[in-house]
Each structure stands twice: as structure tokens, then as C-alpha cells.
Amino acid sequence: MSLQQEIIERLGVKPSIRVEEEVRKRVDFLKKYVTKSGVTGLLIAISGGIDSAVVAGLCKQATDELSQETGREYMTLGVFQPYGTQEDIDHSYEVAKAFNLKHTVETNIEDAVNEIALETEHAFKALSIHRHISIPGKGNVKARTRMVVQYALAFDLNLLVVGTDHASEAITGFYTKWGDGAVDITPLSTLNKRQVRELAAHIGVPKSVLDKAPTAGLWEGQTDEGELGITYDENSDYLEGKDIPQAAREKLEKQYLKTEHKRSAIPGI
């Protein structure tokens, strides 16, 4: 078995999908897990990007159906988490409006992140290391701080935290371990980026979000494809079992092997 075949099998990606079936399967998956867990709904952080937009739509459909079927109120809570001023936060609000989210909150993480960065720099100084926290390091603090706030809300509101991770992120390890990779449930996990876009178009994600360049938003000017040097078309083709340019294949497989620790359970002895 080639490494490509091994990765596809492990991540569970299909070479093509029937969009309506995939939506139904993922909504039912969310409903079943909510019921099994005994919670009262789902929490999704809406970044303004396509992945969280799709998850928000799936969550809202799931909790609406549960409310109708059981007579109990289940909620989808949309959380907006800017760091200071977020230029594209209007896209997050567009997503919430498109799916008629009744429950939304905005939690600005800037002060908390800056305090953590400052304490880290004090620690550096105590070690006789005179430097600032790195840009990627602070980016990881942002991702992890967002998750702390999400879980603080979810715990007291009896909600599950829903993640946006999909196979095109899993293969590259392009997420922050215990940041955006630390969630309760991931309804997109066996889809590649192209397939997520297919679901987005089907369920009515706003065009302004569909047309955006994918970014984790961890620092100014950062884009997924620019940082990784691999296009999402190449990534999706690979996960669908197609041939891609050798340079892209080598880069993608190297990234997969380098980030194995992110996909593995915590090792013990």
C-alpha cells in the first residue's frame, strides 16, 4: 500500500460525494451525539471562514431538528472571537444571519492573549533569554485562548464544543494542537477542502465567505496555501486518489509525516 493510499484510508476520504447524503449523515451524527451526551446543544466558533460556516449550518439544522422532535429546546451557540479588531468579522455575522442563529456572543481575546505573552516574556527573561514571544508562538496562544473561552462557556451552558477540522487540515497538521484541534466532535473530519466547499454551496453559506482565501487568521497576511506552499486543489486531488505534481506530493507527504504527533493520542508507558 502506498503512503497516499494509507493516508486516504486513515482519514476516510471518498473520491467523490453525494452532497445531500453527506449533509444528512453529518446532521444525524451531531444529533445522535448530543442525545447520547445529555447536553443541551452545540457551540461553534464562527471565524468568518468557510469551514466554520459549514459547521454552523450543520449544527443549527441538528439542534432545530432535535427541538422539533423532542419538544425540548436545544441551542446552537455561535461565538465570535476577534483579537482586537478583526477586519472580516462582518463575515462571521453574515454566517450567523444566513443560518438564523438565535444565540451568538462575541468574546474578544486580545487582553488575555497579551497577558499570556507578557508572562511568557517574563519567563524568558528569568532564563536570561531576552526576546519577545515569536509570531507563530503568539498565534498558537490565540488559538488556545479561544478554546479556553469556548470551554468555559460550554461547561456552564451544558454544550458540546464542535470543531471544524477536516481531512485537508489533518493531512498537513495545519491546526494548533490543543487549540483549534481540541474539541468534542468534528463533523467534517472525512471531507477534503473541495468537498467542504461543495457542502457550503449546498447549504447556503454566504458568497462573501465562499470567495475568501482560506486563512487561520493567526497573524496579518497569513493564508493557509501561502504558509504551506501547497494548494487546496492539490491537497484535495491527493486525498481523492489522483496524481498531483511530484513537488507537491513530496511536500504534502513530508508535512504529513512531520505532524504525526498532532494526530496521535498522547503517548504513555
Query: Which region holds residue 266: left if phi is over 0, alpha if psi is between -120 and 50, else beta?
Result: beta
Residue 42 is assigned to a structural domain of this protein: yes
CA distance 65 to 211: 29
Domain-located, residue 137: no
Here the cell at position 269 is 508507558
Q: What are the φ/ψ torsions at residue 50 (nearest 5 degrees)? A: -70, -35
- The tens-digit pLDDT sequence of the chain (269 residues) is 899 999 999 999 999 999 999 999 999 999 999 999 999 999 999 999 999 999 999 999 999 999 999 999 999 999 999 999 988 899 999 999 999 999 999 999 999 999 999 999 999 999 999 999 999 899 999 999 999 999 999 999 999 999 999 999 999 988 887 878 889 999 999 999 999 999 999 999 999 998 876 665 555 655 666 667 788 999 999 999 999 999 999 999 999 999 999 888 888 99
For the chain, the domain total comes to 1
Domain contains 121: no
Report the C-alpha gap between 91 and 51 in whole angstroms.
12
Range of the domain at 214: 3-108+143-263
- Evaluate if pTM is beyond 0.75: yes
Rounded to whole angstroms, the Cα distance separating 29 from 186 reads 10
The answer as to whether 148 is a domain residue is yes
169 is catalytic: yes
Residue at grid coordinates 463575515: 91
Which one from 22, 165, 169, 224 is the annotated catalytic residue? 169
Q: Is residue 88 annotated as part of the catalytic site, yes or no?
A: no
d(CA 15, CA 230): 19
- Catalytic residue of the set 51, 180, 224, 237: 51
CATH number, domain of 211, equals 3.40.50.620
